[in-house]
Amino acid sequence: MPTITVNRELLFDYIGQKFTDEKFDELCFEFGIELDDVVIEPSKTNPGQEETQYKIEIPANRYDMLCVEGLGRALAIFLKKQTPPKFKLSEPKADQLIRMKVLPNTATVRPFVVGAVLRNIKFTQANYNSFIDLQDKLHQNLCRRRTLVAIGTHDLDTIKTPFVYDARRPTDIKFKPLNQTGEVNGIELMDLYSKDSHLKEYLPIIKDKEFYPVIYDSNNVVLSLPPIINGDHSKITLNTRNVFIECTATDLHKAEVVLDTVVTMFSQYCERKFEVETVEVTQLDGSKQLYPKLAERVEEVDTDDVNKKIGIRVDDATMADLLSKMGLQARVVAAKRISVTIPPTRSDVLHACDIVEDVAIAYGFNNIKKTIPKTNCFSSEFELNKLSDLLRLELAQIGYTEALTFTLCSREDVAEKLGKKIENLPVVHISNPKTLDFQVVRTTLLPGLLKTIASSRNMPLPLKIFEVSDVVLKDADAEVGARNERHLTVVFYNKQAGFEIVHGVLDRLMQLVEVPWKSGYELKHIDDPTFMPGRCAAVNVHGKRIGTVGVLHPDVIKAYELNYPCCALEINVEPFL
């Protein structure tokens, strides 16, 4: 969960009450957050002085509490010292409306953009620092390190509308980046920030793209090159009075949430408190949308259902009051029914269950009485897992080391390297693989174990490893089109193949599951391209094939960059249940 650092005295000012560190720690617990540490640090606003800072751990989905403004407001509402603010959208006349047009090239990199304006805002050093810190926190959390959303803030008085959101070739973009002295093009910018400790991690997001996203004003001045950096021309300062906020994104919903979060936190510093000016965005399809939306949503909950889920008993009016402490506007609309209005600050409330959680927090988890469940049930270990654990224990006792390998692998690993064609295998493919190493779900445990041996070639011989895990097989008869199957695989790697050693392991396993030789299981010669001809057999139990044992083909050994022969056994353990 994210941790924010806030000035203690500033936070107490926003709450409207002072606390001892112990009392504030108790308040944090009641509200569902945690006071992580209390530290004395040099003041950011008063050089030469020290100030007490609180490090507070915030729930990962409470983006509205990532700054001191939002945290102070939430705690003040919880203590009933203030009511949730009502946000207002200001739509200027047509000739004064801020407009932004999205051009087609952006579809290949970051297709979405939203915007808003904070008019007549008054910055102090403290709230300016908080404004910057909130953007950093959002970039690290909701924006997924700028891969989903990148925020840009600009001094509106230094730029001219309308704005254009385009994507151009790196050599066609030239501007002076934030706090730099000279102009650079897109390629030079990548070189400039390749060693920057803060920005270098964002460069790969667009570095290899044919086009870089860029926002221009009507004078062809670059506002920003998202998701890397803003232009120096439009940078905000303590003297900035009108702030233009733009969010470019690969996920439109996330962009809307980020924009709503920023403006709801800092519109309180505008001359008209909690008023936000809209921006008109013309999308690729020609449609026009006004942002931000600051939409409220209404949910109805059944008080009996809420009481039952939490294990408490409160009346309708009390429950509505508890919800109001959490920043939700609640009113009783009928017996046992409460209407809950969810403000734009609470993007974490997705379902009625989230409302139930807020009731529990406001009621106090410590106030919920412990009770014995009215029904009793007896748990037991899943039989397949129990069998798997017993087999693991036995294999470990006879000198084999367990490995745990990736469930995903490449198409080459599961087919070509094993001498097979992928179209002949029941493989489940990943529709949008992020890397060539994870393209399909494994149908055998063998590739992972062979990779493990390849990475352990400097270890003393012999290498004896095993794995008991699931593989996934495409199955048209299964409900979801695929099924899991629990496999056991043993690999022996030495200067000699050691077929007799792996055969001995198979005999021991069959002895454990009480399947006798000949009348229970037998080996039958088969041809398998993964194994050497004449050195491969199917493992049949009661006439049904459950696996394969044999010496790996030299081509397989070479494909996995091994130096010595390998013998392998792979069986399906589910028939033994």
> What's the mean pLDDT when you consider all of the chain?
92
pLDDT at 471 over 80: yes
- Dihedral sign of CA atoms 203, 204, 208, 213 in order: negative
DSSP assignment, residue 422? G
Quickly state the pLDDT bin for 397 (edges 50, 70, 90): very high
What token pair was written down for 201?
């991690």
Domain 3-78 fold: Phenylalanyl-tRNA Synthetase; Chain B, domain 1 (3.30.56)
> pLDDT band at residue 47, thresholds of 50, 70 and 90?
confident
Say which residue the tokens 């399906």 belong to.
572
Q: Does 386 have pLDDT greater than 70?
A: yes
Answer yes or no: is pLDDT of 524 > 90: yes
Where does 383-576 sit in CATH, by number? Answer: 3.30.930.10
Tell me yes or no: is domain 297-367 CATH 3.40.50.10490. Answer: no
Specify the amino acid at residue 239.
Answer: N
Residue 572 one-letter amino acid = N
Could you give the percent of the chain with pLDDT greater than 70? 100
* Domain extents in the chain: 3-78, 88-291, 297-367, 383-576
DSSP annotation string for 458-522: TSPSPEEEEEEEEEEEE-TTSTTSEEEEEEEEEEEESSS--HHHHHHHHHHHHHHTT--BTTTEE
Cα gap 554→193, rounded to integer Å:
48
Share of the chain above pLDDT 90, in %: 83
21 to each of 9, 36, 53, 349, 385, how far by Cα in Å? Answer: 12, 11, 11, 30, 48
* Mean per-residue pLDDT, 124-129: 92
Contact present, 127 and 118 (Cβ < 8 Å): no
CA dist 404 and 392 (Å) reads 12
> How many angstroms separate the CA atoms of 460 and 478, rounded?
44
Side chain identity, residue 524:
K
279 contacts 116 by C-beta, under 8 angstroms: yes
Residues 172-192, mean pLDDT to the nearest whole number: 92
DSSP letter at 255 equals H
Q: What is the DSSP string of 364-413?
A: -GGGSPP---SS-------HHHHHHHHHHHHHHHTTPEE----SEE-HHH
Predicted local confidence at residue 508, as pLDDT: 93
Q: Please name the helix (run of DSSP H) or strand (run of DSSP E) that holds residue 15, with its range, or none.
A: helix 8-15
In this prediction, residue 445 carries a pLDDT of 95
Secondary structure element (H or E) that encloses residue 38, with its range: strand 34-42
pLDDT given for residue 220 in this prediction = 93
In this predicted structure, the answer to whether residue 376 has a pLDDT above a threshold of 80 is no
pLDDT in tens, 256-304: 999 999 999 999 999 999 999 999 999 888 899 999 999 999 999 999 9
- Quote the pLDDT of residue 470: 95
Close Cβ partners of 5 (under 8 Å, ≥ 6 residues apart): 53, 54, 55, 56
Asked whether the domain spanning 297-367 has the same topology as the one spanning 3-78, the reply is yes
Cα gap 540→413, rounded to integer Å: 26
Q: What is the pLDDT of residue 375?
A: 75
pLDDT at 133 exceeding the cut of 90: yes
Q: What is the mean pLDDT of residues 389-415?
A: 93
Would the pTM of this model clear 0.85, i.e. be above it? no
Q: What is the largest CA-CA distance in the chain?
A: 91
Beta strands in 147-242 (DSSP E): 149-155, 163-168, 174-175, 184-185, 212-216, 222-225, 229-230
* The token pair that represents 565 in the structure block: 């022969």
88-291, superfamily in CATH? Phenylalanyl-trna Synthetase, Chain B, domain 3 (3.50.40.10)
78-85 long-range contacts (CB < 8 A, ≥24 apart) are 78/30, 78/31, 78/325, 78/326, 78/327, 78/362, 79/15, 79/17, 79/27, 80/325, 81/15, 81/16, 81/17, 82/16, 83/324, 84/327, 84/328, 84/329, 84/343, 84/345, 85/268, 85/273, 85/274
Do the strands 329-334 and 229-230 form a parallel or antiparallel pair, or are they unpaired? unpaired
Both structure tokens of 534: 């004449």
For residues 327 and 343, the answer to whether their CB atoms sit within 8 Å is: yes
CA distances from 536 to 27, 62, 348, 550 (A): 68, 58, 57, 4
pLDDT band, very low/low/confident/very high, at 2 (cuts 50, 70, 90): confident
Q: What is the pLDDT of residues 301-350, one digit of tens each?
A: 999 999 999 999 999 999 999 999 999 999 999 999 999 999 999 999 99
Confidence of residue 45 (pLDDT cuts 50, 70, 90): low
The pLDDT of residue 286: 87
Residue in this structure with the two tokens 């409900």, named with its chain if needed? 479
